[in-house]
Amino acid sequence: MENRLLSAFAGTSAFLLALLFVPALFAEPERGGNADDAAAAWEKAFPDGLIKAGQKASAAKKANLRALEGKFVGVYHARSTCSGCRKFTPQLVDFYRKNKGDIEIVLLQADNTEEEAVAYAKETKMKWLAVPFGGSAKLDRGLEIPGMAVYAPDGTFFMSVYCLKPYRSDQLTLENLRERMDAFETGKKAAAAPKTAPAKSGKNNKKSRARGKKAPRTER
C-alpha cells in the first residue's frame, strides 16, 4: 500500500513539473527578450513553413521566417469561392501595400484544390506569404472565413479583424488595426524612453542658495 502511494505521488509530481516547464506557444516574453523567442514561436505556429502566395508547394522555395521579425503578423483565412473574401481581399491588398513595412500577411488557404488557391492569389495580386496548400497553422485563435488574426511583433495575440459589413460592436476593421498598431508603437517608445528626474522647484533652489551664503559681518 505504501509503495503504491509513493508511486502515485512521484507520478503526480513529475506531471506537475512537466507543466511548469512546457513553454506556451505565444506566451508573452519579458521586456527586452531575445528576438529569437518570437522566431521560435513562428516556427511552431507554421510547422510546414511558409511560401510566397500564388506558388505551388511542390515548386516553391520556403520563405525565411525571419521576414516576420519585428513586424505585426496577420493570418488571413480565405477561399476563392467565398463572396466575402472577394469583397475583402482587395481592401487587404491595398492595406498591405501601404503598411508592409509594419505588417506581414500570411494566407491560410481554404480552397478545395491547390489550383484554385494559386489562381486566386495571382488574380487578386497577393504579394505576401502563405501556408503551403494542405499545410497547417497551429494558432491560439480560431479563424472565420473571411477573417484575420493579428499578432504583435513579440508573437502575442493582438486583435482579430472582421472582414464583412455590417460590423458588430465587438468586431474590428482594418482602420481599427492601423490605429492600434500606432498606439502600440507609441506605447513601446514611451516605455523605452529614459526617465528623467523632475527638476527642483525654484523655492527649494532659493533655500539651497541661502544656505551657501555667509552671514554679513557687523561692526561694533
- Structural element, H or E, at residue 148: strand 147-151
Task: Please confirm whether the linkage preceding 132 is cis (ω < 30° from 0).
Answer: no
Burial of 67 by CB count in 10 Å (0-12 exposed, 13-18 middle, 19+ buried)? middle
* pLDDT at residue 154 in the model: 87
Beta strands in 20-146 (DSSP E): 51-52, 72-78, 103-109, 129-130
- Our CA dihedral for 81, 109, 128, 150, rounded to 10 degrees, sits at 110
Q: Could you tell me the end-to-end alpha-carbon distance of the chain, in angstroms, rounded to an integer?
A: 103
Ranges under pLDDT 70 in the chain: 1-36, 165-171, 195-220
Cell of 56: 505551388
The answer to whether the CB of 84 falls within 8 A of the CB of 116 is: no
CA distances from 125 to 27, 43, 53, 118 (A): 34, 26, 9, 11
- How far apart are alpha carbons 177 and 174 in whole angstroms? 5
The answer to whether the CB of 119 falls within 8 A of the CB of 80 is: yes
The answer to whether the CB of 134 falls within 8 A of the CB of 115 is: no
Structural domains of the chain in order of their starting residue, each with its CATH number: 33-190 (3.40.30.10)
